[in-house]
A and B are shown apart, each in its own frame.
Chain A
Amino acid sequence: MRYVDEYRDQRIALALASEITRRTTRDWVLMEICGGQTHTIMRYGLDELLPPGIQLVHGPGCPVCVTPLETIDKAIELASRHEVTLVSYGDMLRVPGSHSDLFHVKAAGGDVRIVYSPMDAVKMAAAEPQRKIVFFAVGFETTAPANAMSVWQARRLGLENFFLLAAHVLVPPAIRLLLRSPQNRVQGFIAPGHVCTIMGYQEYDQLAREFHVPFVVGGFEPVDLLESVAMLVAQLEDGRAVVENQYARSVGYRGNTAAQQIMEIVFEVCDRKWRGLGMISQSGLRLRPVFARHDAERVFRLEEITAPEPPECISAQVLQGLKRPHECPVFAKRCTPQNPLGAGMVSAEGACAAYYQFRWHVPPVSKAENG
């Protein structure tokens, strides 16, 4: 049964690719924002199925990659305190701070634990009242409601030993930054399907109107992404710039209102620094003052530090679609997934890491390079 499905999917994929080729009369630069989508594109070589004029560039949509050095340093500092248990999603452990990473802190005896869900951290806080449990809350809008629920639940259970180190980021302000840049090359966007599952796509409507740029809310499978590209190309060729929804099986215009409510109760919008991109105003979420006693930054009085990023890393340009990862001079040389220098190489969903994994060992076919 599965083979039949795969066969069908492959036929659909090829049909979509030829539809895209048929519709394309000019060169277009398109960006997928979400790192999960970048990963699928690279893994299946979808860019190589496209006509040479369509270039896919990869956006800042990997929350692990954009968490700034300073925040990693704060997590490391907390993890080094003997009374603290630092709880995190697994992908954060190897992210380099300015001089170490959580993996090394753990190896040196720090209490660092990995969980699948923030609710697991709440359970830890209930089971071990003598420990201070700090949950390292990274993520985009997709993850924010879950992390908000963990704080809500901790408060409901009266757990005074549960804290959040909040490093949440929001997608639309980053897109706005990109579109405002005089160097911007991106002409159409695949909007992130799971972010929009939570938030809906009203905000993207506004961006499409303001900048006259088309968006297609896209899913994560190969066929989803090719269909999204086909829809974008059709809009661009017709001179249209609206938001269309390819991922309607999960996304509605208004999103998930229950999820938005809990986010609204627990978090407020704040300015936030992004690794590789710098400070973006109103682009993050932090705990509201009523939850101050669960806010790790306030309770543990973490010092404001600033840490410079390695100068040879061009991830700012990569994240804005101005350059592609293999154009970085230290790509796959001094910068590898085992020893990442910058944002894009850190997580499997980062653009540099995806290129390393799927394009470095296998030489790309010439068509993709011409694109």
Chain B
Amino acid sequence: MCLAIPGKILETNVADGVRVGRVEFGGIVRQACLDLVPQAKTGDYVLVHVGFAISCVDRQEAERTYEALKAMGVLEQELEPPEI
């Protein structure tokens, strides 16, 4: 439950007073809140946890982590709530 997935910020805007970004996780695009990483901008890589970017990481590290998480099969689990 404390996992965070790295993704790339494709664009940023403001919705309902919250700074959000469209973030890409190897093909899957999700909206993430960027208010906790004020320094992050388009093209940057961020670690995303429950819909919030919590830190900036560099590109190489992001891709490496991403591949590892994909191999572990936890990516979908983190990005989509399971259908129960």
Contacts and interface: CB of A to CB of B under 8 A. Distances in A.
Interface of A: 2, 5-6, 9, 34-36, 40, 43, 61-64, 89-91, 93, 103, 106, 114-120, 138-140, 142-143, 145-146, 149, 153, 156-157, 192, 194-195, 197-198, 219-222, 249-251, 256, 258-259, 262, 347, 349
Interface in B41-59: 47, 49-52, 54-55, 57-58
Q: 8 closest A-B pairs (Cβ-Cβ)?
A: A117-B51, A114-B81, A146-B52, A142-B2, A221-B68, A249-B61, A259-B36, A250-B55
B27 interface: no
A149 B72 contact: no
Nearest to B81: A114
Given A156-B17, A249-B57, A250-B47, A194 B4 contact: yes
B1 A89 contact: yes
B29 interface: no
Contacts of B80: 116
B9 interface: no
Contacts of A221: 64-65, 68
Interface of B: 1-4, 16-18, 33, 35-38, 47, 49-52, 54-55, 57-58, 61, 64-65, 67-68, 71-72, 79-82, 84
Contacts of B35: 149, 258, 262
B2 A119 contact: no
A146 B1 CA distance: 13
Contacts of A6: 67, 71
B2 A146 contact: no
Given A40-B72, A256-B37, A63 B1 contact: yes
A32 to B, nearest CB: 12
Contact of A139 (B1, B65, B79): B1
A290 B37 CA distance: 26
Contact of B81 (A103, A116, A220): A116
Main secondary structure of the interface of A (DSSP, over half): helix
Given A194-B4, A197-B54, A197-B55, A153 B47 contact: no
Contacts of A62: 1
B2 A34 contact: yes
Contact of A192 (B2, B18, B50, B84): B2
Contacts of B47: 194, 197, 250
Contacts of A262: 35-36
Nearest to A138: B1
A90 to B, nearest CB: 5
A64 B38 contact: no
Given A119-B51, A145-B36, A146-B52, 19 more contacts: A5-B64, A36-B1, A62-B1, A116-B50, A139-B2, A143-B50, A149-B18, A153-B16, A153-B17, A194-B2, A198-B54, A220-B65, A221-B64, A221-B68, A222-B68, A249-B61, A250-B55, A258-B35, A258-B38
Nearest to A157: B16
Contacts of B51: 116-120, 146
B2 A36 contact: yes
Contact of A143 (B2, B64, B65): B2
30 contacts: A9-B68, A36-B2, A36-B3, A43-B72, A62-B1, A63-B1, A91-B1, A117-B33, A117-B50, A119-B18, A119-B51, A142-B4, A143-B2, A143-B50, A146-B36, A146-B51, A146-B52, A153-B17, A157-B16, A194-B3, A194-B49, A219-B65, A220-B3, A220-B65, A250-B47, A250-B55, A251-B55, A256-B36, A259-B36, A259-B54
A284 B84 CA distance: 29
Contacts of A34: 2
A198 B50 CA distance: 14
A90 B81 contact: yes
Given A2-B67, A114-B81, A143-B50, A256 B1 contact: no
Contacts of B61: 249
Contact of B1 (A114, A153, A197, A349): A349
